[in-house]
Amino acid sequence: METLACNFHSFTFNLSDSQTLSFLKFPPHQVRYSITPATTLSLRMTHSHSSQNPVIEQQRVIIPNKHGEKLVGLLHETGSKEIVILCHGFRSTKADRTMVNLAVALEKEGISAFRFDFAGNGESEGSFEFGNYSKEADDLHSVIQHFCEANRIVCAILGHSKGGDVVLLYASKYHDIHTVVNVSGRYDLKKGIEERFGKDFMDRIQDGFVDIKNKKGVEYRVTKESLMERLSLDMHEACLKIPRECRVLTVHGSADEIIPVGDALEFAKIIPNHKLHIVE
């Protein structure tokens, strides 16, 4: 048996039934995972202000997307009929600390959560692609359909970084979810590319692809097609298609060095039913 331990700081998050989203303060806690060869993961939470050690089961769930690829996720089952779907960011997975921290915070409030890997990421099948925003929105649709068919109520979808753009694109295309949380999403998808790949990136990719390398070798490949998919996405236009009855919360750090806080302010200008929370 392998045991992984990690500490998380307090996190501010709440899903409210009111017309706007309010916030609750969750105390610091420690999360320990006991990983066994079985198909479920056992999670034990040790709270700093309690001697109780409740055990909450994490169920491994496999959901096919519309391309026949298997999406792998973990269901934090609390017994609630309502469930929140959590979407990771670029080059990340369901095991990202933000995803785990959010799932545990929701568990504490008695709300079930599901965190999964998009196709081509983590344990899910498929090939990794640099852009893929629209396909990931479709992956999310497959996940939501799965839980709706299981008689669950998907009360909210939450995405971090690239996942923030994905949940907003979902809300603009599918009008079946009425609470969306965008954590540090990027407003202008034409920005951030030069900073990541260099000023001559567009010239280099004319050959069809560019391999992004690190000290160990090729980290991932960016194809011209996937880059063009990202550059062609207009988040302004997409957000204008989000229906007014859909509540959107944007959470962003004031000193974010990867995606500037100004992007959050742009979302706040155009999304009709929107609440903005800047974390200093």
Q: Which residue, among 237, 238, 115, 243, has the nearest Cα to 179 in the 3D structure?
A: 243
Q: Report yes or no on 64 lying in a domain.
A: yes
Q: Provide the pLDDT for residue 218.
A: 81
Same domain, 173 and 96: yes
Residue pair 86/115 in contact by the 8 Å Cβ criterion: yes
Q: What is the pTM of this model?
A: 0.80
- Return the amino acid letter for 2: E
Q: Report yes or no on 51 lying in a domain.
A: no
**Which residues 6+ apart lie within 8 Å of 97 measured at CB?**
6, 8
Sign of CA dihedral 86, 134, 73, 216: negative
Q: Provide the pLDDT for residue 21.
A: 34
Same domain, 146 and 260: yes
- Return the amino acid letter for 137: A
Same domain, 141 and 238: yes
**Which residues 6+ apart lie within 8 Å of 170 measured at CB?**
137, 140, 141, 157, 177, 180
Taking residues 185-197, what's their average pLDDT?
A: 90
Q: Rounded to whole angstroms, how far apart are CA atoms 70 and 184?
A: 27
pLDDT in tens, 131-171: 999 999 999 999 999 999 999 999 999 999 999 999 999 99
Taking residues 190-216, what's their average pLDDT?
A: 84
Parent domain of 201 = 190-232
Residue pair 211/218 in contact by the 8 Å Cβ criterion: yes
Same domain, 228 and 260: no
Q: Does residue 11 carry a pLDDT above 60?
A: no
Taking residues 198-211, what's their average pLDDT?
A: 83
Secondary structure (H, E, C), 131-157: CCHHHHHHHHHHHHHHHHHCCCEEEEE
Q: Rounded to whole angstroms, how far apart are CA atoms 200 and 197?
A: 8
3-state secondary structure of 120: coil
Q: Provide the pLDDT for residue 20.
A: 28
Same domain, 71 and 184: yes
Same domain, 221 and 268: no
Taking residues 182-204, what's their average pLDDT?
A: 88
What is the C-alpha radius of gyration for the chain, rounded to an integer number of angstroms? 19
Q: Report yes or no on 17 lying in a domain.
A: no
Q: Rounded to whole angstroms, how far apart are CA atoms 26 and 31?
A: 14
Q: Rounded to whole angstroms, how far apart are CA atoms 179 and 184?
A: 16
Q: What percent of the chain has pLDDT over 70?
A: 80
Residue pair 248/259 in contact by the 8 Å Cβ criterion: no
Same domain, 103 and 226: no
Q: Count structural domains, the chain.
A: 2
Q: Provide the pLDDT for residue 56.
A: 60
